[in-house]
Structures are given as C-alpha cells and as structure tokens.
Amino acid sequence: MNREQALAIVKLNLTDHRYTHTLGVVDTAVELADRFGANREKVELAAVFHDYAKFRDKEEMKRLVEEKLSDKSCLGFGDELLHAPCGAYFVEHEVGLTDQEILNGIRYHTTGRPDMTLLEKIVFLADYIEPGRKFKGVEDVRKLAKKDLDEAIIQVLENTIAFLMKRRQLVFPDTLATYNQLITNKRRSDISE
C-alpha cells in the first residue's frame, strides 16, 4: 500500500482538522526517519494510520479492548488512550496491514513504552511536534529532535507527565516506565563517555 492509497482510507475516518494533523505527522515522521535511519515506508504508513480510530465510538472501543485485545491496561486511564491500541487492531482487521512494526507504531503513539523501536519513537515524536502543534514547550522539543531522538522524547514525556499531573489526571504506567528507562539509559551513556 502506498501513501496515497493509505491517505485515501484515513481521510474517510477523520475530520478535516485531524486529516491536516495527520499530514503534518506523516511529513515530520518521514523527515525523522531520514534523519535517524529508519525504514521510511514503514514509518510513513504508521504515521498515516496513527489516528485511524480517533473518532470511533468510545463504547465500541472499550468493548473491543475488553473482548478482543490481550492488553487491557488502557482501560481506566481515560478515553483518549483507546484510539491507539484500537487503531492498531482496526488497521490490521479492516485495512489488512499486518506488519507488527507498523501496528506497534500506531499502538504506542500516545503512551510510549519501554524498549520502543526506532519506528515507534519516530511516530510518537512526530505526533507531538508536527507543524500544526502550537503549545508551550513544543519548539524546544522540535530543536532537540534535530539532533537527539531520545532527548526529544524525554522532553515530550516530561511535558506530558507534568501536564497530566497539573490536571490531577492519571499517568499511564508505560509512559512513566518509558521515561524512567530513557533517563536510566542516558545516565549510563553519560557515565561511559
């Protein structure tokens, strides 16, 4: 499946605003893939489909998680997290993409996870820094993304965790675990230099 075919499918499921966001994520993800040496085609498809389920009925997604997904950990952390794992499922079963690396890029684009692959990191970061995003701290992350993927992701995680805590919202355990792992890896790297 090429970019145009994928975008035609996604466009039917998104608002105009979310489709524009998706185009920004795709372009940003491809740029990051080229910069950091990821598989451009896989990154592009994961980015195209990252919000495939964004506007699906919340109750439908909750039922899907409860009945069909082995990982039910997103339940209880707010409806915003549902579209990523459900999106991966829908892309596999409705669109027919079966590449697990692409599906995981979709699955973890909102929460991150420990041991993220390069593709997963790129989609996660591209979703945060695409050109249409306008909020405090995004420019700092964009600058970091030009030179150090992990440093940029650490900053995204710090910003996200602080945002959630300020609103007294739950922080998904994998998000904290991702942050902790990247900080631990960074400290080890700094010691070995």
CATH number for the domain spanning 168: value is 1.10.3210.10
Radius of gyration of the chain (CA): 16
Q: Around Cβ 168, how many Cβ atoms within 10 Å? A: 6
* Euclidean distance between CA atoms 71 and 67, whole angstroms: 10
Residue pair 143/70 in contact (Cβ under 8 Å)? The answer is no
**Residue 144's domain spans which residues?**
3-192
> For 10-58, what is each residue's pLDDT tens digit?
999 999 999 999 999 999 999 999 999 999 999 999 999 999 999 999 9
Output the pLDDT for position 190.
77
28-39: string of b/e by CB count within 10 Å (b at 16+)? bbbbbbeeeebb
Task: Give the sign of the dihedral formed by CA 7, CA 11, CA 15, CA 20.
Answer: positive
Number of domains in the chain: 1
Per-residue confidence at 141, pLDDT binned at 50, 70, 90?
Answer: very high
Give percent above pLDDT 70 in the chain: 99
Rounded to an integer, the average pLDDT of 124-139 is 96
Rounded to an integer, the average pLDDT of 101-126 is 98
Rounded to an integer, the average pLDDT of 147-164 is 97
Output the pLDDT for position 192.
72
Output the pLDDT for position 188.
84
pTM over 0.85: yes
Rounded to an integer, the average pLDDT of 116-123 is 98
Task: State the chain's mean pLDDT as an integer.
Answer: 96
Examine the pLDDT at 193 and tell me if it is beyond 80: no
